[in-house]
Structure formats: structure tokens, C-alpha cells
Structure 1
Amino acid sequence: MRINRSRYRIVLAFMCLLTLAAAFPLAVEAEVPYSTFTKDSYNRTIYTQPAYAPSQVIARDIYIVNEKGERTYSPLKRPQDIYIDNHDDIYISDTGNNRIVHFTPEGELVRVLTVPDSPLNEPQGVFVADNGDIYIADTGNKRVVRLDKDGRLVQEYERPESRFINDSFIYEPTSIVVDRRGFVYVVSNGSYQGIVQLDPDGKFYGFFGTNATDAKFMDKIRAAFYTKEQLSRQVRLLPSTIRKIDIDRDGFIYSVSGSSSEQVKKLNIRGDNVWKNLSFGVKTPNALPSGSVLSDLTVDRDGNLTVIDKNANVVLQYDSAGHLLFYWLGPVSVGTPQVGINQSPVAVSSNSKNELFILDDALNLLQVFKPTEFGTAVHLAYSLTQEGKYAESEDFWNKVVKLNALYSPAYKGLAQAAFYKGDYKSAQQLYELAGDSSGYSDAFWQIRLQWFQRHFPLLANIVLIAAVASMLWSRLKRKLHIQSGLFRMLRLKGKNAKLLRQLRHAFFILKHPIEGFSDLRYLKRGGYGSALILLISVAVMLLVKTYLTSFTFNPIPVSEESSGSLLTVFTVTWLSWVICNYLISTIYQGEARFKDVFVGSSYALFPIVLLGLPLALLSNVMTMSESSIYHTFESAMMVWSGLLFFWNIQSLQNYTVGETIVNVLLTAFAMIILWVLVFIFFGLSSELLNFSYTIYQEVTM
């Protein structure tokens, strides 16, 4: 009986555990040998669960039947490309063995293509058309061959002839795609002219998707000032070469190259890049000094783009709009190969299940990665969002948030779903969490519109009453000679009145800057007290502008803002200006005292005090569509303050306009020198302290 009770308790406990497990599923994925990350809207690196997990290794053991009928081991040798057709069959260009190897979707060897009638020579690219025709970039033979689905030679595309192709053009095909019209796109090794475009008959149609020249700053200077003869003696700048290409289901062609900009291009039928303003690749500790080397890309059935960085051993995935989804990297495998870790990823492709196949030309094998629960949820959510199915995507985005609450793109997806449902307040909050100021502005625009529609009659009455009251008050003031309380207070006598009059002089400077700055010195209309009050007011307004400005115009999380650092930067910059300007003016025959420079530089910042708070408050009732108004006022505030600094120097130092410009430039240069010296001083001081402490330890031991 006791035994039965014990068993009953064990079974009951086990059932409870199962119930808890079902109610609270674990979000932990199977352990993988690499780390996965993403970037939020503020470009901060965020750790995520693995989006893909290694599932299989293909081409590790390849056995073929030789001429004697014997089954022999024949591994891959320096493979360079992989393609997966519509049936998920796998084709690998086995460059070192002069062949194309065909596998089933499960990784079983189907056949080896060598084209006996015209043997291949180091083929580096392979592509399979919808009808089953196989196109091979036969690099060593400087041609492209077309085979039928049975592997029989159908057509050869040799070096095209055209008056647009010069004799020095080297035709060595390395990568190839074919569109639905039968047009062939060929990447030639080392060619900077772009992708060679051939019509279905193999005739040259033109160069496609040519990269722009990466001209550095000094190159632009030379181009502007050098003569044609001088430029002819310079090393000719050439566009970077294209490494690999791919094509998606909509006919867009993607290229990857080593250029500093537009590393990945999405080319329409005209060859124009629709991703001009996007950047690809990430900086990682794995990267070599030579920098990022994006070596290949692939586009899956949902339009997601996967790029591999051979140099840093990084795999990056982007959505169909070119926004980073996640990337993962791991230590370079040394010694015994480890599943999931690549040594030299050279090519990548994907199948209908969105599994990734990464080819390694050092390990000579193909690794398969399948999406995890987290990766699948992200893909489904993004796919539905891109299709405009915001309501359907909401459940998947919620699942992503449950799996990883720090994955900020999920909040943008939820914000779009809330916006679609008309819940603009929630959409606004979610857009802020996602760091999307544009979406935040759109949601606020709807909120503001609804508010105006509800309160328009009341607002109209208030405006009318205010206008009438203002007119009546103006007439009453003129009739009774009433002065405003502020200026009546500023005209009081006594110690406090002097300080108030000095503060009031800031308004006079705004109207008459030259005369006003002169009065600071000769009529003593300003002092250290009023200057310090203005400086404190400027510091307060900088904080107000930082913390009260709407997220639309200041898309930086409050947690990232530091009052201490902001005030430190302001104080150091302002003091550096005062000290350096006084020293330069003393050398440059200026007439102002240090007190004059100190006080005048404080009064020159008064536009920030005057407009800082109104601008911050105004930003909270404006949207992106009125950004030009906001930025005009903001720019006017800064320009106004800059002009006051200029007139301050001109008036107090008794300079001409030209002398004032020279003084400003010398002051800026002196500030740079001062900061360098301070940096060196503190650097040496820390080293001296460490040295002294080391000697102290040696002596006391």
C-alpha cells in the first residue's frame, strides 16, 4: 500500500512538471558553438538566441566509381560555389576537381558532371534554371557552358565580341545567374566594368550594375586642381570588382563587392541600385586588419538576404528591405573541424525551407543550418509585415518578444500592427521602444488630428477671446501708460536692481549687438554675476532641450543621455574658448580684458536661453512633416549665437571684420592645441603615478 502511494506521488509530481512545462515553455535553444547578435535602432549590439542551428554536414564522404569500376574516395577540392534549385537539389562547383557535384536535398550524391565532350577546367560558378538547364562558369576555359537537365552540352558562351569591349578585357567567368527571359549575367574575374549581360543567343547586351569609383578626399582635391597632364601621370582610379551575384524570384539581381560603399547592391532591370543608402557588414573582433571581405550572398524564398564575410568568418542576414535581422560568428576552427564553425566560408545558398547551406573551401565540405524557433518566428513575422498583413504578424511578433524582449525590431512590428488597428497611442509607445522616430511621428500625427477634431470648437473660441482680450489690453496700456511687470521690476533701485539691469542688457544686445557689447565694458552693463547667471541658464536650457525635446526630433533614449557629460562638455568647451580667445587677442593686439571676454562670451549665448525652452515645447506638438520649421528655428538660434560671438570679439577687441575672422580661426586652432596638451598631461600624469606607486612598492617590500 505504501509502495502504491509512493508511486502515486511520483506520478502526480511528474504530471505537475509536465503541466508546468506546457504552460511555461523554455525559450532556450540547443547550444551552438557560436554567438548570435543583432543591432537595435541606435546601432547598439544586442545578444540574441541562435537564429540558426547546425543540422547536417554534406560532401564529407564522396565516393565515385572510376574508369575501372572501382568505388573510390573523391572529396571536394577548393569548392567555390553552390546553387540549390527549385526542387532543393544541391549543385557544388568543385573547382579543384574540375567538376560539378550534384546532391539530393538530403545530401546523397546523385551524379558528377564533368562534360566529357568538352571537359571543365576549374569551374567557379554554377546556376540551374527553372527548366533544369545547368549553367557553369568554366573559369579555366574562359567560357560559360549550358547543359540540359541530363548533363549534355547544349551551348557555349565564349568571350563576347563588341565594339564596347576593349581588347584588354579579360573574360574569366566566376559567377553566373540567368533571368526568366533567358538573359545571362556573368561576373568576370578582375573586371571593373561590371556584370557582363548576354542575350539568350549569347550576344553581348551590355555591362550591368557597374560599381562607382571609390574616390578618396585627396583624389577629389587632385581632380579639382590638377591639370589633365598632371592627372594623366596619376595612378588611374578604377571601380571595385564584383565578387558574386544572385537573383531573386522577382528578377532583382544582387551583387556583392569589396567597395567601401554599396558593398551589396540590389539591381533592378535597368541596373540601378535600389539600396544606395544602406550599409552592410559589421565590425567584429574576428576581422583581420584588411577589413571586411563580403564573399557571397543568397536570397531565400521570403526575400531575406544572407551575406557571408570570409575575412571575419561572420554570417549576416537582412530582411527584404535590407535591414539587419541578426548575425553570428564564432572562433575559427583549429585542428579537428567542429560542426557549425567555418574556417573559410566561400559561398552560401538557401532552399525552400529557408535552411542555409554554407560552403567552406578550407574544410572542403558543406554545412547546413536550419532556422530555430526564434529564427522562424522572426522570419514569419517579417514576411507577414512586408506583405502588409499586420494583424496576422502581431502574434508572431509577440512570440519574438517573449523569446527575446531586447529584440527591438519586434517592437516596430507590433507598432505597425497597432497603427493598422487604429491604436495610435500604443503604436507611438512601441515605435519609441523600437527607436523609430519616423513611425513615432506618424502615430503622433494621427493622435494630434483626432485631438483637433474633438476640440476644434473650443480652440476656435479660445483664439477669438484671446485676440479680443489682446486688443483691449493694448488700448488700455496706451491709455493708462501701464508698463509690464518685468521691466518695472528691472528698473528698481538697489543692489539687486543693478544685477537685474545687467541681465536686462542681454535683450538690448539682441537688438544692438555692437553697441551692446561695447557697453559691457565701458558702461559696465555686465559683470561676473550676470555672466554666471546666464551660463547657468544656458546649461539648464541644454538639459531642457535634451530631455524635453520630442522623440521625433531627438531619437535618443533618455538612458543614453548623461547630464554630467553634457554639462562637462559644455563647460570645458566654453572655458577653452574664453581662455584661448583672451590669449590670442592679447597677442593679436586686442583691447579687451579677461573679464570682458568672459562676460561677453556669456552674453553671446543668450539666444539659447531665449529659444531653448520654446523649441523643446514646440517639438512636442510637431511631426516630421513640420521638421523644416523646427530645424529652421534651431539653426537660427545657433547662427544668431554665432553672430553674437563674432560681434562680441569685433566690438570688445576693436577689430575690423577681417581681423575678427583671423582671431576666430586662431582661437579655434589654439583650442585644439590646448586639448592635445591637456590630454598629454593627464596621460603622462597617470603614467607618473603608476611609476611612483611601483617604486613605492619596491621600496616597502
Structure 2
Amino acid sequence: MNKRGKTLRLQLLGIALTLAAAVLFPYTAAAQPPYVTFSKDGYNRTIPSQAAYYPATVIGNNMYIEKTAKGETVLEYSPLKRPQDLFIDAKDEIYIADTDNNRIVHLDRDGEFIRELRPEGLKSPQGVFVTKDGTIYIADTGSKRIVKLDANGAVLAKYERPKSRFIDDSFHYEPTNLVVDSRGFMYVISNGSYQGVIQLDPDGNFYGFYGTNLTEVSLMDLVRKMFYTEEQLSRQVRTLPSTIRNIHIDEQGFIYTVSATDKEQVKKVNIRGENQWKDKKFGLEARFRNRAVNQAAAQNGEEQKSGLTDITVDRNGNLVAIDKLSNAVTQYNPSGDMQFFWTGPVTFGTPQLGISQSPVSVATNSRNALYILDDSQNLIHVLEPTEFGMLLQQATALSQEGKYEESESHWQEVLRLNALYSPAYRGLAQAAYHREDYEQALRLFKLAGDAPGYSDTFWQLRLQWFQHNFAYVANGLFVFVVLLLIAGSRKKKRRLRLREKPGSSASWLRKPLVQQLKQAFVILRHPLDGFSDLRYAQKGSYVSAGIILALVAGVLLAKEYFTSFVFMPVPSNERSNTFLLVFAVTWLTWVICNYLIGSIRQGEARFKDVFVGSAYALFPIVLLGLPLAALSNVMTHSEQSIYSFFEMGMFIWCGLLFYWKIQSLQNYGVGETFANVSLTAFAMLIAWVLISIMIGLSSELQNFIYTIYQEVSM
């Protein structure tokens, strides 16, 4: 009778819990998720996407523990209380560091309660890790130690503060999380430690610091270092590396760290402690971080740098990061490139399935389901992959394994579901590349916005073209050289005839405008004398300067539109001529400010001289701009140093001509010329600030006048 009564009570309790969950989390799998999913295309544009995960259920919110009281077994409600960490073992069983309850909670793969672990002295644990053989490691934060348990929960060891001559006595040891590698080495995060991850050997002895963050130096720090004395610097607050916030280890043994930094927020660290993802950017853009509703987190200055709280790596190598500041979840492929992210509005007091209020930990199981621990709601949100998400994971896994042909059908299906999803074009491009369909791969890599892939494919096409046309190229070069020699010889003879016949048909070359335009070439060879002739020999005018400026604008415009995708990975429809306006305003500001500074500092140049000379100083752009654009279309990334050398040389040449223009026309010495350039740059900055203020004030004045007009007309 007692057994029947107990069974009936359990059944009624189960029905009640189901009804309560339905009321608290009104959501069905068929409905739309309560969040919006986005992805990034190859040009870093944010685009909407189908949901990759859907909220399936919540677990850990209704835990009852069997207690024996007066000879009877009763169920006692035992909710989580500010849990801080979550771990899923090889059997998909779940471990939760229930911090304020001073325990570790063990759930089965379905989220049902199995047991609680309370080793003696456990106080405010914030981290838990379970090895493949079931050994449990606990970051006992309150007791400042690591506790090691066997699979049955018996204490095997306790690791207190490590002792070493490399650890300062002032070092604060308060472990908050840890991972353990296949050798038994422990990697421990200590609260507030800027030295990096603490590495302990299997016996708990100090082995070294690992994966230390670099010190972030601001511009003001550099200025202080340049001008402050040693005594002044000693009174400044020390600039220290950012602390590491969390840690994870994947199945291959790679260790990942999460930090509140502007750069290298997530690091994939090799055995030497070096970051393999230095060029990767993690975390959300400011416009998404600013949507944060977690004001408690937003008020923390450190959180505003980066809201990333925890990461996990699934069985396919995809990395998932959670952002406590904006309550967002982001997934990256095994190469560290963003696949998608999602976030949604949080309504406090009304729990919503799939929307975390304060996510602190994330983990995945063997089915790649996501488990997100919320320390405000005291529960775990479980998200399952959608059809789109599963398809994407399969395609990504096949591509990462080099099975490009097998992945092709999956990527095509992904594109059918979302024609704007750029990684699908990259996957198809890789498949086309490996079957040597380079023309198709070139087109797809460009659609994907993948400049390196486009470059590698173009290199193959260029190689094929040279192999098929080498004889024609060699003969063509030979003929070109011969024609060049013949043309040079005939040019010399023609010059001699022109000298003998001064009234010949070449008299148009002696027209003033032509002579003024030819002066641009003279300036390239003899800049000081050439600029001087602009004024004293009348070899420059407003008309010739205007023609050169028009040529510069045309060349820059052609360079913008005809530079290869390899060196300018921008969509064709986004290349515009608006930069010409910026260029024109900058150049005109330079002319005006340079003339005014020269007038103040006893310079000899007139406004006309400064205007004309500044136009002629841009002539290297006319000379090299188009050849550079043409050259870019036959070059690959491997020759980028050559392209960059000539492009940088072109701008340096222009800069030198501007310097020599000031020196010649203003009749300055070397030091005076440097001072003039510096003051001109400063004057330009002040002018732009004043113009910005004037524009702002005029806008306010316009609004004020319009408001008065509306009031009067009513």
C-alpha cells in the first residue's frame, strides 16, 4: 500500500511539474524561436539567417532529492542557487557547480537528478571537470583549493595553493575553473590573476604559467613613457595584462582561454602557450553589445570590453561562445570564422524558453545540443540543432575533413535554404577547386568574399594559361623589345630633324599649356628647380593644375573600380566614387592651411603657387595608378609585397614632392619645412573640428527656426 501511494504521489508530482513548465515556458518546437539569428557574409556584413538551434527544454529547475525522515522517504525540493559552471562528460551526463549551495549536482543525460557531491569543506565551488574515466576535479573557490574525486565521489586528493620560487608571496590563489589534459596536468584559472593559467602537474606541483595575455598599451601610455621621468612613471598605476576569465579543452587537447580584452578575446593555445588565432576577432560588434539588457553586467567596466563568459567546442570542432553582456550565443567553425549568432530581448520576471538572462557557462553533448547555464534563472536551457543547423554542421565537418566532393550536396542544400549564406559558397568553391574546375571556383570564391581562396584559384588559372601560351608570350616579348629599340632609334632621328627645322609641324609642343603640362615630368626629375620654375618661369597655371587634378581623379576612380579583387576584396556594387569627395576636401584644406601657415611664417609663395604646386605634387598617382591597377589583375597574394611596395612608393613619392614643393616655393630650409608641414597638419585638424562644430550648430539652428515657424503658423 505504501509503495502504491508513493508511486501515485510521484505520478501526480510529474504531472504538476509538466503543467508548471508549460505555464512558465510557453513554447513549442514548431513555433518560431524567441530570438533572431544572424550570420556574416564574406564582406563582414550582417545578414539574417534561419535559426540554427531551437529551444527544446529546460533542466535543473525542478530538482527533488529523496530524503529519509522518520523512517519514510520523502522528496525535498532542492533548486540550484547561483550555479557558475557546467560540464558534460563522455556519457553525456551533466555536472553543475552549484556555487551557493556548496555542492556539485550530477544529472543524467535527460536532466534527471542522480546525486549531489559534497566533499568535506567544499565552499562556493565555481568550476568542475570530469575526465574520461570519471575522475572529478572541483575548483573549490571558497576554500582556495582543487579537490579530486573518484567516479564514486570519494576524495582522492586536495591541492592547496601551489608553492614555488616562481610564485610571489602576494599572489592571490582562488581557483574558479580548471581543465585537465590526457596526461593529468591541471590548468587552473585563479580569480584576478594576470599571470595567466596556472599549470600543475598530476601531483599538484607548480609547473608554470601558461597562455599569459599581453599587456594592452594605450596611446596615452606611450605618451607618458616618452615624456614622464622615472619618478613620475613609478607613481603611475601599473599596466597589467587582462585576466583570463574561463578555460576549455577540446578532444584533440587544444586549450582555449576567454579574456576580457579588446584583442584575442578567445585564444587557441598550443603546447608552447602560443595563440594560434592571433588574427581572429571574437565577440559581438558594439551595436549588438549595446542591446544588452543585463544592466548589472553592463555597469562593470571590464564587461563592457568583452562580454564573453564561456566557450565550448563540440564534437565537430565548432566553437560556441556565450556573451553575458548581450545575452548572445555565437558559433564559429573549426577555423575560428563566425558561422552565426543569435540574441533576443530579455524580460525579467518572465522566464522564456531559449532566452538566458545571465548566461555563465555553456557545454555540448555528443548530439551537439547546447546546454546554457543561467545563474539568474538557476536552470539550464537546452537547445537542439534545427534542420538547417544539422545540415550546416555536416557540411562543415566534411569540408574540414577534406571530403569536398561529399560536402558539395550538403552546401547546395544549405544554399537552397539560405541563398545569402556565404560559407556555403566557400564550401562549394573548395569543392570546385579540388576537382580542378578553377573558373567555377573563382566565381564562387568571389561570391563568398574569400580573397585568399580567390588568389589561390587565380594562381592555378594563371599557371595553366602560361603553360598553354608560353611560346606566344616569349615571342611577343622579343618582338616588343625589338620594336622598342627601333622606336628609340627613330625618335632620336626625329629630334635631330626637328632641331634642323624649327618651324616644323611639332610647333604645337611649344604652346604654353603643353609646356606647363610637360613641367610635371621635369618636376619628377628635378623637384626643387621644377617647382621653382612653376612661379618664376611661369611653367604652371590654374588650367594646367586643373587638368592634372582631373587626371588624378580619373586615375583614382579607375584604380577603385579596376583593382583586382585579390587586393581590394570589396563587392563591385559597393565600390563608389564618394572617396573622391573626401580626397578633394582634404587636398583643398591642405592648400588653404599650407598657404596661411606659410604667410604667417614669412613664406614667399603666393596662393596660386601653393595651389598649382600641390596639384603637380600628385603627378606620381597619374603616372603609376593605372599600371598598378592593371598589375593587380595578374598578381596573387603571394606577390602582395611587390604590389604594396609600388603602391607605398607612389604615395611616398607624392609626400616627398609636397615637402620639396614647400621648401622650394616658400624658400625654407630643412627644419623650417618640417615645421611648416607639422603646423599645416595641425591647422587642418583644427579646421575640420571647427567645420564639424559649425555643421552641428547650423543643424540645431535650422531645427530651432523650423520649430518657431511651426508654432507661429499654428
1:646 paired residue number: 659
1:192 Cα shift?
2.2
1:74 paired residue number: 78
Greater shift in the superposed pair: 215-224 or 145-154 = 215-224
Matches within 5 A, 1:522-671: 522-563=536-577, 565-671=578-684
**What is the RMSD computed on CA atoms of the aligned residues?**
2.2
**CA deviations over 1:457-505 (Å, ceiling 9, x no partner):** 1122222222233334434444565789xx99995349x9322222122
2:110 paired residue number: 106
Equivalent residues of 1:64, 1:74 under 8 A apart: yes
2:403 paired residue number: 389
2:61 paired residue number: 60
1:165 Cα shift?
2.3
1:252 aligns with 2:254: yes
Equivalent residues of 2:92, 2:109 under 8 A apart: yes
Q: 2:703 aligns with which of 683, 690, 701?
A: 690
CA 335–267 in structure 1, closer or farther in 2 if over 3 Å, else same: same
Q: How far apart, in 2, do the equivalents of 1:455 and 1:441 lie?
A: 21
CA 541–29 in structure 1, closer or farther in 2 if over 3 Å, else same: farther
Q: How far apart, in 2, do the equivalents of 1:132 and 1:694 lie?
A: 73
**CA deviations over 1:415-454 (Å, ceiling 9, x no partner):** 1111111111111111111222211111111111111111
Letter in 1 for 2:127: G
Letter in 2 for 1:642: G
1:405 aligns with 2:419: yes
1:402 Cα shift?
1.5
Equivalent residues of 1:490, 1:501 under 8 A apart: no
1:90 aligns with 2:105: no
Q: 2:507 aligns with which of 465, 480, 492?
A: 492
Query: Any gaps of 5 or more consecutive residues in structure 2?
Result: 1-28, 293-297
Letter in 1 for 2:457: A
1:436 aligns with 2:450: yes
SS of corresponding position for 1:518: helix
SS of corresponding position for 2:37: strand
1:313 paired residue number: 327
2:519 paired residue number: 505
**CA deviations over 1:555-608 (Å, ceiling 9, x no partner):** 122222221x12211211111111111112122212222222111111111111
Equivalent residues of 2:552, 2:619 under 8 A apart: yes
Q: How far apart, in 2, do the equivalents of 1:691 and 1:227 lie?
A: 51
SS of corresponding position for 1:88: coil
Q: How far apart, in 1, do the equivalents of 2:603 and 2:569 lie?
A: 43
1:519 paired residue number: 533
Q: How far apart, in 1, do the equivalents of 2:549 and 2:156 lie?
A: 81
Q: How far apart, in 2, do the equivalents of 1:54 and 1:482 lie?
A: 88
Equivalent residues of 1:84, 1:351 under 8 A apart: yes
1:336 aligns with 2:384: no
CA 231–587 in structure 1, closer or farther in 2 if over 3 Å, else same: closer
**CA deviations over 1:173-196 (Å, ceiling 9, x no partner):** 211211111112222222222222
CA 435–93 in structure 1, closer or farther in 2 if over 3 Å, else same: same
CA 415–697 in structure 1, closer or farther in 2 if over 3 Å, else same: same
User: What is the number of equivalent residue pairs in this alignment?
Assistant: 668
**CA deviations over 1:207-251 (Å, ceiling 9, x no partner):** 222222223233344445555544333323332222221111111
1:4 paired residue number: none
1:163 Cα shift?
2.2
Q: How far apart, in 2, do the equivalents of 1:348 and 1:613 lie?
A: 53
2:434 paired residue number: 420
Q: How far apart, in 1, do the equivalents of 2:96 and 2:707 lie?
A: 62
Q: How far apart, in 2, do the equivalents of 1:532 and 1:697 lie?
A: 46
1:217 paired residue number: 219
Task: Calculate percent identity across the aligned residue pairs.
Answer: 60
1:352 Cα shift?
0.5
CA 208–471 in structure 1, closer or farther in 2 if over 3 Å, else same: closer
SS of corresponding position for 1:120: coil
CA 185–636 in structure 1, closer or farther in 2 if over 3 Å, else same: closer
Q: How far apart, in 1, do the equivalents of 2:89 and 2:446 lie?
A: 42
CA 29–395 in structure 1, closer or farther in 2 if over 3 Å, else same: farther
Q: How far apart, in 2, do the equivalents of 1:475 and 1:362 lie?
A: 87
Equivalent residues of 1:333, 1:341 under 8 A apart: no
SS of corresponding position for 1:347: strand
Q: How far apart, in 2, do the equivalents of 1:478 and 1:695 lie?
A: 77
CA 357–675 in structure 1, closer or farther in 2 if over 3 Å, else same: same
Equivalent residues of 2:246, 2:310 under 8 A apart: yes
CA 425–483 in structure 1, closer or farther in 2 if over 3 Å, else same: farther
Equivalent residues of 1:29, 1:50 under 8 A apart: no
Letter in 1 for 2:81: K
1:308 Cα shift?
1.0
2:694 paired residue number: 681
**CA deviations over 1:376-429 (Å, ceiling 9, x no partner):** 222222212221221122122212222212121222222111111111111111
Letter in 1 for 2:246: K
SS of corresponding position for 1:66: strand
Letter in 1 for 2:665: L
CA 435–70 in structure 1, closer or farther in 2 if over 3 Å, else same: same
2:26 paired residue number: none
CA 576–511 in structure 1, closer or farther in 2 if over 3 Å, else same: same
Q: How far apart, in 2, do the equivalents of 1:184 and 1:167 lie?
A: 21
Q: How far apart, in 1, do the equivalents of 2:528 and 2:420 lie?
A: 55
Equivalent residues of 1:428, 1:440 under 8 A apart: yes
1:17 paired residue number: none
Greater shift in the superposed pair: 76-85 or 221-230 = 221-230
Q: How far apart, in 2, do the equivalents of 1:498 and 1:282 lie?
A: 60
SS of corresponding position for 2:511: helix
Letter in 2 for 1:492: S
Equivalent residues of 2:121, 2:143 under 8 A apart: no
Letter in 2 for 1:359: L
Equivalent residues of 1:490, 1:500 under 8 A apart: no
Query: Any gaps of 5 or more consecutive residues in structure 1?
Result: 1-27
Q: How far apart, in 1, do the equivalents of 2:682 and 2:307 lie?
A: 39
Q: How far apart, in 2, do the equivalents of 1:521 and 1:490 lie?
A: 29
TM-score by length of 2: 0.90
1:182 paired residue number: 184
